[in-house]
Amino acid sequence: MMMRLALAVSNAVIVGGLGNWWAGMAAALATSAVHVVYLRNRPGPVTSWRHGAMAERRTGRVLAALDPGKFRVLHDRALPGLPATNLDHLVVGLTGVYAISSRRWTLGIRLWSDHRRLWAGSRPVVNLQVAVVRAAHTVGELLADELGHELSVSPVVAVHGARVPRGGLRFGGVVFQRARRLPRLLDAHPVVLTSAQVTMITAAAERAFPPMLDHREQGLSPRRTIA
């Protein structure tokens, strides 16, 4: 805050001295705005966490459009088997069970695959699909323990900012799809569960995956590694 004020005042004095007072005021406001944008987007763990949290909230708003008669959604859950990872969203519906991770990329960049590696523009995306698959596998194992039978959990990445094919991108066993298209994607799959099974699986998920807030209050602070 003090740095931004000092920069703004300095620019105002310089520009005001060269022109007039309103030009100095405009320069001060512009400097302040640029500094705010820089602080919010400069590389670092705080910025990464903020972007991840924003993407997670946006995905949550999109998933709220799912028909509550067909789908149940849990948000921001702890994974007891993976203490360094949180589960952004778990969707249990008539068409199956989905472990969804939110991820934000630079606006307009293209997400693509050469069948050996996932790319965001010209940069490789390293280990993301591995982490997402591992999280989905852990969800399936813990739900199986609760239910007493095996359960398939599909790993999905809700993409923010980046461009992907309209039908989504499949790589490493993971579906990458624009967040806003998720409701249509999930609803279009074949029906594989009954309403009673959806209720039962959701109750098991509530028991197996505590909210992250409760997890933190117990003295644990897992890092967000797939969000």
Average of pLDDT values for 160-189?
96
Report the pLDDT averaged over residues 137-146.
96
Q: What pLDDT band is residue 204 in, cutting at 50, 70 and 90? A: very high
Where does the pLDDT of residue 219 fall: very low under 50, low under 70, confident under 90, or very high at 90 and above? very low
Q: What is the pLDDT of residue 15?
A: 47
Strand partners, 91: 73, 98
Mean pLDDT of 25-48: 48
DSSP β-bridge partners for residue 198: none
For residue 25, pLDDT beyond 70: no
Q: The tokens 């972007």 sit on which residue? A: 51
Residue 86 has what pLDDT?
Answer: 87
**226 by DSSP, 3-state: which?**
coil
Does position 50 have pLDDT exceeding 90, yes or no?
no
Query: For position 185, what pLDDT does the model report?
Result: 96
Q: Is 62 exposed, middle or buried (0-12, 13-18, 19+ CB in 10 A)?
A: buried
- Whether the per-residue pLDDT at 95 is higher than 60: the answer is yes
